[in-house]
Chain A
């Protein structure tokens, strides 16, 4: 690196190597280390930096954080119910439980030698036999035949 470029870097970024362009930092530091004139230029830039650093920094007021956070996005219902899980996990759990339930019912029926369709037929017949219509308020219950 030439002294002219180091002077440009110091004029723009000051004397702290951390603020220098990353791609030129090592070369600039090397030049400052071996050239007393370059080192003096760095020291001068550092003195100006020190002056800049005297400018005050205000901490945010106590209420500002609360005011900012009060308007943050609110979680979805899923997020409220399952704060530490991804969206799909509860849905996948429910689906697996459902599949397991259906599978177990089917396996149990096989083991007992039952035909579930017979159950449905019997059940339908029982419903036919007992079908009555219940009035909304009081009165006698009417059978389907009474209505027809």
Chain B
């Protein structure tokens, strides 16, 4: 049986407990918003996705059965699928067809010239194919373990590793000209 730190809160939320619902939102809303922001590159859309995710939570809380999957893994799957839906609608084509095609998106170098270094990194992230971006978002930014991230993406761990490797390699290439700035920025932050 899967140990789930959220199981109690979800059960109480399903019974209408206001305190439990507030704690569940405080724990997960910022993470869901951040995930959607990284996937969609747009804060307003990310908040829409976060709201949709919690509407599903409110509906499912009464029926939630602990043990099958961790609540957080399920939550990430719902959020990722909601992001995929929005990306499909934007492009008007099924995700599979766009899977390995990089989004031309904003030019990272141009972003660096105009605004912050951080936005250049974000711009580079937005150019990755959706599934690579999702894999990196879940493992690097959301901190999910490989088994949980694979479950959230509904793929094998091997497939996850492949997406991660290709995504990181592509990002490294796009950010090659920033690597010195990033490393020094990091050292400054740690000092």
A residues contacting B by CB (< 8 A) are 8, 11-14, 18-19, 21-22, 47-61, 64-65, 67-69, 71-76, 79, 83
Q: Can you give 8 A-B contacts (C-beta < 8 A)?
A: A11-B164, A51-B183, A56-B116, A57-B37, A60-B30, A73-B58, A79-B15, A79-B17
* Contact B122–A55 (Cβ < 8 Å): yes
B residues contacting A by CB (< 8 A) are 13-18, 21-22, 25-26, 29-30, 33-34, 37-38, 43, 46-47, 50-51, 54-55, 58, 61-62, 116-119, 121-122, 125, 136, 139-141, 143, 145-146, 157, 160-162, 164-165, 168-169, 171-172, 175, 178-179, 182-183, 185-186
* Contact A68–B50 (Cβ < 8 Å): yes
Cα A58 to Cα B37 with chains together (Å): 8
* Contact A72–B58 (Cβ < 8 Å): yes
Residues in chain A near residue B46, CB distance under 8 A: 58
Q: Give the residue name and chain of the B residue nearest to A74 (CB).
A: B16
* Contact B51–A67 (Cβ < 8 Å): yes
Residues in chain A near residue B175, CB distance under 8 A: 48, 51
Residues in chain A near residue B121, CB distance under 8 A: 51-52, 54-55
* Contact B164–A13 (Cβ < 8 Å): yes
Cα A54 to Cα B116 with chains together (Å): 10
Residues in chain B near residue A74, CB distance under 8 A: 16
* Contact A48–B54 (Cβ < 8 Å): no
* Contact A19–B16 (Cβ < 8 Å): no
